[in-house]
Structures are given as structure tokens and as C-alpha cells.
Amino acid sequence: MQNKKFIQVFEYQKLRYDDSGDFRKHHFDAMVKFNELHQNKYFTIIHQGIRFGSYVGVIQIGGLTIEILPKADNNENADKNLWQNVLLNMLKVCKKIQVESISETQLKKRYHSILDVYFELYLSEIERLVKKGLIKKYRKNQSNQNALKGKLLFAQNIQQNLVHKEHFYCEHQVYDKNHLLHHILYKGLLVLKTFVNDSLKDKLNRLLFEFQNIENVNIQKKLFDKIIIDRKNNDYQKAIDIAKIIILNYSPSLNYGNENLLTLLFDMNALWEEYIFRILQKHKTDEIEVSFQNSDKFWENKRIRPDIVLKTKDDIFVIDTKWKIIEANNPSDDDLKQMFVYNLHWKAEKTLLLYPKTNQNDSEFGTFHYDNLGKKCKLGFVDITNQRTIKKSQNVANEIFAKII
């Protein structure tokens, strides 16, 4: 694993291949194929390279890891460590890292990439399950037996034992560890064999040994829907959640030339929207109700959906989040028209367009000139970093509440 390469870029940055560098044409070809299979939504193909868009996260192609980081500042030499931690923090708050055990200390740790966070947490969860004892379950098994056991399957018995009449092809129950939960965890471990770094390799091999008698089956999305979490297997929830992320985002080399590909990509606009909602929900007072992605009929079969709606005893406020850098007091016409509709439809006196802050100041509330209704909208800017650290979510939430209420 010593030959693994690592490239960090920011959203909307360009990356061109060079056969003498880390990013080569076969990596580029694999990314093009992957992007085409997903309606070209993740990035734009340019001459001999890629221009990233609003999706952040990580793409691992064989021995190359490309991490795409968010950035909300104008500094060309922005601190990549800081923005990696910002992304990790947002993923934690939005429960995209589906474990509660990740601590502030872990967030400050220097990870090779955000995939390493998932890998480390996954292996730690499985190690915990192994130490506690992997559970057994009843399952149906069909096989040839030397004695009649369970139910005889007549058609299969004739087909299998036309010559060997001393055998019986039966269906019977077996009580062991070779069941769906362990099939999924084992498949996740097998995927990691291609991608983990040296520091996790020994732990991975130890866990693979514990699963040596587990069947290697093809795991698809529909199998996750069959899992029923109950009192007996509740401890498996966290590991299964991470396994689902790893397995469903893995593309074997069959589709991408000679390279296995693992992706973990998030739309930064959606992530920003959910992050703001979750911190407002967490730090609101009892007098404020915060709701997310309200949806109502708008025209024919079309619906209208503001990001966040705040309600107090007397007033309604709408917040629409935008992950983009704009100049203060200069919103787009489309954004303002959108907010005007929210004002009317939700009977809100005030609405807020909320952007990440670089060096802008909030605008004053501007009034929409329509029937003297007094509907107002302002531009607000919030910084989620504090110099070289992540700003506390309590402080971010308080700043946002102060802008509108």
C-alpha cells in the first residue's frame, strides 16, 4: 500500500492528467466513465482533465485518492486541513457519518482522506462486534445429506441423486453465523482490501480471519431493505449503516477498465442546507419551531419547497440557504423572485437568503413593492470557521437567529 497517491482539490477547481504525475489518463478515463453512468452530474469534462462542481467528498481509483473539499473563502492558499475538518464536521452533524462515537478529538486528527474516517469507524465497529461475539441465526439450507433431515426436495433429489440413492437432497434449518448481516459486513471488509492504507491493514486482516467461514455473496441495495433490526441485533446498526455506504458506492473494475473505484460524494448545496437546519434545530429556544423542507402544492403537479421555516407564536420566517459566494447586496433576480413567492405562500413577513461569509456584511431588510403588503427579504452571511478552527455550532445558530427574529 506504500504506492498510494493522494490529491486534494477544492470544489470548482480543475485537475488535468499528466502521465508523469499522480493523476494519469487511466484515472481520467475511469472518472469519465463513472460520470457518464451518473448523468454527468458530478463534474465537467474538460480538455485532458476534470473541472469539479458542487459535489464534495472523495473518489478513490485504485491507488489514487482524490479528495474534493468545500471552500468558502477567497484565499487561493486556503488551509486544506481546516476545510477537511469543516467537511467532516458537517457530515457528522448531518449524520452522513452514521455513528455517534466520532469525537471532537477525532475531528481534529489529520486524516489521509475522509474515506479513512469511514474505514476506521467501520473496522472499529466490527471489532467491537467480534469481541462481544457474532450472533447466530436460523436459516434454511438446501444440501445433500447422508440421512433424511428436514424436508425432502423431490425434484432436486431426483436430479442430484439419480445414481447415489443413498443420499437425500433436503431443506433443513441451520443455526450458525452465516446469515445476511454477516454477508454484508464481510462484503464491506472485502471491498476495503483494495483501499485501506497500511495503518489499517493489520486490523482488516484480523477481522477477515474472523469471517473466513462466511459466504461471499453479491450484495445489492434490495438486500439492505430485508434487514430487520431488533433487540437481538441492535448492536449491528452502526456497522450495517457504514457497510451500506461502502458497498453501494463501490464500483468494481469490470465497469472502469483496470481500476476499482470507490466514491463518496455529497452535493454541497444540500449539505449546507441540512447543516444549517440541524444546528438551528439543536440550539433553538422553546419559543421557536424549526421545520425542514416543507412542501406544498404550487401549480398543477408542481410543488414549492423552502429550505427552512421558523415559526414563533406571532410570526413566520423563511430561510433559503445558498452555498455560493456573492457580493453583499447583490442577489440574483431569480433568488429574489423565489423568496418573494415564499413570502406570499407561507404568509411570512420576513425571509432570509443565507450565504457562507467571506468578507461581506448583511444587508438591511428590503421591501418587495407589491400591494403594500410590507413583505421583506434580506441577505445574511455566516462564517462557519473562526480563523483556523471550526466555529461552535451554538455560535453559528445564535448568529442566524439574530439576523431574522
CB atoms within 10 A of CB 126: 27
What pLDDT, on a 0 to 100 scale, did the predictor assign at position 3?
59
In angstroms, the CA 160 to CA 143 distance is 10
In angstroms, the CA 130 to CA 314 distance is 55
Low-confidence residues in the chain, pLDDT < 70: 1-3, 98-111, 253-258
- Domain definitions of the chain by residue range: 5-133+180-267, 147-176, 284-404
Write the DSSP symbol of residue 46. Answer: E
What pLDDT, on a 0 to 100 scale, did the predictor assign at position 58?
95
Kindly list the strands in the beta sheet with 376-382, ordered across the sheet, starting from the edge strand earlier in the chain. 289-292, 308-311, 316-321, 350-356, 376-382, 366-367
Distances in Å between the Cα of 130 and the Cα atoms of 97, 122, 162, 358 are 21, 12, 43, 47
DSSP-based helix, strand, coil % in the chain, nearest 5: 35, 25, 40
284-404, what's its fold? Answer: Trna Endonuclease; Chain: A, domain 1 (3.40.1350)
Q: Which amino acid is at 106?
A: Q
| pLDDT per position as a tens digit, 234-291 | 999 999 999 999 999 998 764 555 678 999 999 999 999 999 999 999 999 999 999 9
The 3-state DSSP class for residue 219 equals coil
Helix (H) / strand (E) element for 292: namely strand 289-292
- Burial-class residue 6 by CB neighbours within 10 Å (0-12, 13-18, 19+): middle
What pLDDT, on a 0 to 100 scale, did the predictor assign at position 98?
55
What pLDDT, on a 0 to 100 scale, did the predictor assign at position 253?
63
What pLDDT, on a 0 to 100 scale, did the predictor assign at position 111?
60
What pLDDT, on a 0 to 100 scale, did the predictor assign at position 73?
76
What pLDDT, on a 0 to 100 scale, did the predictor assign at position 254?
47
In angstroms, the CA 34 to CA 40 distance is 8
